[in-house]
Amino acid sequence: MIVDGEANGLPTLSDLSVNGMARTVRWETGQRDFMLPGCSRMAAPSAESFSGTTAYRYHPITVDAPLRIDAVLVNVDAGVAGGLGVAGIYAADARWQPTRLVANGGQFDASGTGNKTLTFRETLLPPGNYLTAVQCNGNAFNLKHLTANPPIGYQVNRSTPLQYGGFIRFESATVTFGPLLPFGPPIVAATNSDAGFRYHVVLRPV
């Protein structure tokens, strides 16, 4: 294991070779590793507001070898009274559109800050494309994110090729807040940036 070290309260980043280019992040000292399969060049975390939106925010990951997980994690950087969210993982098709829900972390409370570890029954992810997903109830709270370069060589639709590190996130249309839907609402927008995707949801391998 090559560990980059922890300073100033930032997470420890590790290169574990669990799954090809898989990277892991430890949000707190002594905590079990969490990971973003298929991503590289993760940067230190920052925060992003979810004020006023109930759209699903998606981020792409690729699993290269069978991977067992039992939780996802989000981190509330700035909470607000009444703040709620849901998080999980969807399978994705060849065009990186969400299909069925494969891991449902359920609801988290965003009225206070800190890690929100959302556990579920141990789940096997076969090799393939997936999307982490988070939806919030529109209240003005912030989630931490890790900026990372996702898998390359994909597109959301025939007219929008996605380049390495060229987007921050994918979004669905506005959806009524509630439990994650069995099939993910389609991606209808992508926010451009050269900085890399901003991942809010990370996976816990077993």
Using 50 as the pLDDT threshold, list the residues of the chain that sit under it: 1-23, 29, 153-165
137-150 pLDDT, tens digit each: 988 888 888 777 77
53-67 pLDDT, tens digit each: 899 999 989 898 899
Q: What is the pLDDT of residue 24?
A: 53
Q: What is the pLDDT of residue 114?
A: 85
Q: Lay out the sheet containing 84-92: strands in order across.
A: 98-109, 84-92, 128-136, 55-63, 167-174, 187-192
Q: How far is CA 76 from CA 79, 145, 201, in A?
A: 6, 10, 11
Q: What is the pLDDT of residue 156?
A: 38
